[in-house]
Amino acid sequence: MFKIILKTAYLNLWRRKSRTFILIVMISFGLAAMIFTQGLYEGMMSQMIDDALRTSSGDFMISKEGHYKSQLLSDYIYDTEPVISALKKNNNVAHFVTRVKNEGMVSSAKYSQGAEILGVNLEQEQYFINYKKPLRQGRLELNENKKEAIIGQDLADKLKVKIGRKIVLTGQALDKELVAGAFRVVGIIRTNNPEIDEMSVIIRQKHMQELFKMNGHISEVSVLVKDKKQAKQTESTIKAYLTKNSSQKFEVLGWEELYALLAMMKSMFVYFVYISYFIVFLAVAVGFFNILLISILERVKEYGILLAVGTSFSIVKKMIYLEALIVGMFGFVFGSFFGALLLIYSKFWGIDLSNFATGLNKMGMASIMYAEIHFGYFVLAFVVVLLTSYLSAIIPVWKLKKLKPVQAIRFV
């Protein structure tokens, strides 16, 4: 019996081919757009977070207690041995880097501004972030015997300096004296992290420690983990180890605490998806309902005859619901197919927004966006289409139920 009802519902759809075709196209277009938007937005968020973590804090950061709020050079790590030991022993730690940070002034012959001076070991940083990828000009080598610096593209534009030009770094040393040093620019990078691109100067950690009289001490340790799901547990383990094995007090902060805005944006993404789906498919449901209602009203006499010869209303109702469901499933299949094609293209080749690069980079976004693909996108789409198909058929079925067979046969 069900096969007969299903076949009848399917054949009814193609009595007006153009109408059914428009309905399938409408559902497919809305679904493909939403799947693509979801994947692109999630890819954009992942890029932003990954760029921020790899150029700054990592999945979590270890520093002296109070350093994150104060950002003072005097809040340094002097007991580094237990920190390094804890990180090397933990199996979930992929890479870690030590850094020295100080706020100061960077000057060229034409301009000067506040800057964050970073003392790094590029040998370590290559495992943390591959600076060759964001390199725009020059080289990514800092000579051990020469005072050389790497700066962000935006900072280079402000200072009006090119490769080979000198800049002067000024700041307060550990002994509270004002010190200054001249460094030659050997590399210009674009990391998509505004903090790095607009106001950071990268020099060798050894030269940083000498300039600011750090006596070999460091400001912080940034850590990347292998399994992101175990990051919190790894933080807790490291913190417990340091509390037990070091006389110095440390703070171990996850990236969600360090980048509260990014964390909030990530959590808001779920709501963005549901609201977007609701708006798009509300519009689709209205069109779906109108077309389905017109289609049923055209066939009221036929339904009346079926009821008059003894067909139960439940069979007629199933027929109408199946019509709506079949159209919805056609829309889901085509919408998912085209949505998947868009996501595959965006995942491997990206969407080039170079014309808006300046504005995007200031917000920490890359000029080429890559989408992500997850099976969950299609599961959510299937559920939404299923609900839309069902809800769109409720009122037409209710209107038909109110009519008696004789009234339905005479319906004009």
Residue 192 has pLDDT above 90, yes or no: no
Residue 252 has pLDDT above 70, yes or no: yes
Confidence band of 208 (pLDDT split at 50, 70, 90): very high
105 vs 286, more confident: 105
Residue 281 has pLDDT above 80, yes or no: no
Averaged pLDDT for residues 165-175: 92
pLDDT at position 106, please?
94
pLDDT tens-digit series, residues 308-327: 776 777 777 787 888 888 88
Taking the C-alpha atoms of residue 63 and residue 125, their distance in angstroms, rounded to an integer, is 18
Residue 134 has pLDDT above 80, yes or no: no
Task: Name the most confidently modeled range: 43-52, 240-249, 359-368.
Answer: 240-249
Both tokens assigned to 199: 């106001």
Region of 192 please: left (phi>0), alpha (psi -120 to 50) or beta.
left
Both tokens assigned to 29: 């277009």
CA 46 vs CA 53, 262, 263, 299: distances in Å: 10, 10, 11, 51
Residue 362 has pLDDT above 80, yes or no: no
pLDDT tens-digit series, residues 31-79: 898 899 888 888 888 887 777 777 777 889 999 998 888 888 888 898 8
Residue 169 has pLDDT above 90, yes or no: yes
pLDDT at position 43, please?
86
- What sign has the CA pseudo-torsion 72, 74, 75, 79? positive
pLDDT at position 197, please?
83
pLDDT at position 251, please?
92
Please, are residues 13 and 298 in contact by the beta-carbon 8 Å criterion? Answer: no
